[in-house]
Structure 1
């Protein structure tokens, strides 16, 4: 019932905003990606810094039923609208740019095992009619997105993604160590663990493990032993869970000296995005998250936590397989294996493989924000 009412709410506000006149060179960014690698938010930061003469509005969270009419007027009067998820615009004359939020590894849309055809068909129609331009990094990205969502290939523009520009513009490592770990260890190596959304596996056991503080959902999880391994190797681990999972983790499990949970509050309060922090990390741990593709550009060690590979392959499916031939890093199924790899993180045999994958997924990975801005001038 709530979704139906929300749909009518959006239709009503779109109708009202339709009569707002379009203002030249007005930009609205509808950010539905929070601060976790948001192309929308980082493009907004670029515009504010490099083009202060522009009229730019950041709308977040999006979509929302709590937006003021003044915000809807800006959306209705925007010449350019940028989105991080589904494309959106109110008038045909508006120009809609889709920045999306990652190169997909897991199946989605038409390709997923756990979606419905009529929903996918509805979403395809939205993309066809609402998206004018879709940021792309490579041929393979366009192939994957077109397969999943049914996008017309002539909508893709090889601009790259705004967040890629910020991988090489990181904030201070010293500040992160102090803020998150209260440490000034000059030998520190920082890793980050970013799993995908595990709630969709519909397995209560996994959620119960996470709620108990077992953020890996390992059967042999031992936070004391894990923290000891990190201390021995001058390693610090940032844990960035999906917001839903983050709410489950009990406060008493956040006290390990070399393990810190990163939530959106810290990012919001400091006006930074995760990708402005990612560049200071020395290694990544993930499972099936698209973040590993972007991390290829840093060419640093990646550890793949694959304890739920069978479940994901069955419930949703992967776009590329076999998994072990795609991922450029060591796989772990339990904490014992993870601790061994952490002790030998510098022995990294995957550099060449990461470089090769990087050339496949990123034909465009620099000056992405500038490329998108210049595109707006050409289609004016």
Structure 2
């Protein structure tokens, strides 16, 4: 065999493994891109099924992985390394989004005397609401108590605060003298704490909808009406990864509850849904509520605070605006606290009163309100202001 042929054959034998690895890398990148795009289509455009909300919390991750796979296809070399770096960068970006506004006190904003009067707080920053899932059984009650005793907000909504942590509540009376809770019942495990006087407050279970819906499947909620007609509702919804259809029914029932309440309203708690989910979009569209933030992951925060998914939310009605929002520090739960600084909209102040939301509902003729008692139409099990602890 001529020497030039031997040399050519040798170079081909050396190059063959390189070409084979490059081909495998391209197929890996192509498969990753296709999988990310299919999952993304299902998450964003999957309104026809509740199953889509299982993967909707990963929408940001899917976008990041898809972009990384596209880059790997263009580069054609070091594909596994590029894909791995992209996954790490995507996770790091979500951690940054969750922690970028973390752990700082709400920034003061300019408020008129009328705005402070309307929100019934003498602070310079309007009304601050905080929501936190304290984590059933596993949460650090002492760490939680130390954090809440600092008075991080005017109104606090706690979920998964059951009998194991209820002893924390009385010890917070100095900071939050007005409290309503169902922490003595594991199926409810909610609390609302306020340092501002409440006109009325209570605990209820959202009314079931449809013939096949069971009242026991519906989520509990705590509510309080502050002087000045502002209503705060706190709740905790079922996780879609366990039962997406039950989660969808709970969101639908919560939507109906919100639609039946007139006047300015704040909804806070662990809704177990991301801003990209179909259920969350339907809730916003049907109620007119706006989230305090769309890009603020709160879970997981244990054993390290590396949040990836926004599950905890504070939403406000059109009469209100969010001056600032952020997350709180890790306090022993697998969720970070989320807070929002709430103000009247300037156009509302100019008119001198909050506009009433005219949303169609099946109970519109009854025009229910949250007053001294919780109307039976809004919850099968409820208590009125008598449950308010002072």
Higher strand fraction: Structure 1 or Structure 2?
Answer: 2
TM-score higher than 0.5: no
Higher helix fraction: Structure 1 or Structure 2?
Answer: 1
